[in-house]
């Protein structure tokens, strides 16, 4: 059986024994949204099996919104303003943006502006830069708090500031990892 894999620049042809039980799964084409911003706002206004975010968050709640760092091609300029619009009844001082760095270095202010302008504008970026932004330092124990222990005895540590938030909103983007695939 001959199979062509989408691998590298030109693909990878495989010739597999006919005795192997092979199933080839092809992706199904799904057309993109005509207006991504409108589709996102509609999804936030009417989520599946849940009331909208605006109805779940009280004005007195401390809200943490987690976003990916510069190593992920996430349209922050599209996502974060839509989420913040859902939270317009929450005072800005009660909302913190958390950059999910993992073990990566902190992003520079210029990088944050560029990330926030993705699928947005310079004005969008500046609006987002007005919020308190925390870039987690996983190597600084003073910024972490232990929140539990797994069944196997491993400690679970989180950023102290996000753990203190009443409401945590995680944003992200699902795609194959550049090195690891899915």
Length of the chain: 182
Tokens standing for 76? 């922050």
**What are the structural domains, with CATH classification, of the chain?**
36-170 (3.40.50.11440)
pTM: 0.82
Checking phi first, is residue 6 left (phi over 0); if not, alpha (psi -120 to 50) or beta? beta
Q: Please answer whether residues 143 and 160 qualify as being in contact, where contact means their C-beta atoms are separated by less than 8 angstroms.
A: yes
C-beta of residue 116 within 8 angstroms of C-beta of residue 80: yes
Alpha helix segments (H runs only) across the chain:
36-45, 53-56, 76-86, 109-117, 122-129, 160-163
Give the chain's largest Cα–Cα span.
Answer: 65
Quote the pLDDT of residue 181: 60
- pLDDT of res. 25: 86
Per-position pLDDT tens, the chain of length 182: 999 988 888 989 999 999 999 998 888 888 989 999 999 999 999 999 999 999 999 999 999 999 999 988 899 999 999 999 999 999 999 999 999 999 999 999 999 999 999 877 899 999 999 999 999 999 999 999 999 999 999 999 999 999 999 999 999 887 776 676 65
Q: Tell me, what's the pLDDT at 36?
A: 92
Work out whether the CA dihedral 66, 69, 72, 74 comes out positive or negative.
positive
**Residue indicated by tokens 């911003």:** 37
The pLDDT assigned to 27 comes to: 82
User: Residue 175: CB partners within 8 Å, gap ≥ 6?
Assistant: 72, 73
Instruction: Tell me how far apart the alpha carbons of residues 169 and 8 are, in angstroms, rounded to a whole number.
Output: 36
């Amino acid at each position: 059986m001959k199979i062509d894999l989408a691998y590298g620049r030109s693909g990878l042809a495989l010739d597999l024994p006919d005795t192997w039980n092979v199933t080839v799964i092809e992706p199904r084409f799904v057309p993109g949204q005509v207006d991504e911003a409108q589709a996102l706002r509609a999804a936030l206004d009417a989520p599946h099996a849940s009331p909208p975010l605006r109805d779940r968050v009280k004005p007195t709640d401390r809200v943490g919104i987690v976003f990916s760092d510069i190593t992920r091609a996430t349209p922050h300029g599209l996502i974060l303003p839509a989420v913040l619009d859902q939270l317009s009844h929450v005072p800005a001082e009660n909302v913190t943006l958390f950059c999910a760095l993992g073990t990566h270095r902190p992003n520079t202010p210029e990088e944050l502006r560029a990330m926030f302008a993705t699928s947005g504008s310079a004005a969008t970026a500046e609006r987002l830069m007005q919020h308190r932004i925390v870039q987690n330092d996983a190597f600084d124990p003073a910024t972490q708090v232990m929140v539990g222990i797994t069944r196997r005895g491993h400690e679970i540590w989180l950023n102290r500031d996000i753990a203190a938030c009443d409401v945590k909103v995680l944003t992200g983007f699902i795609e194959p990892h550049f090195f690891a695939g899915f």
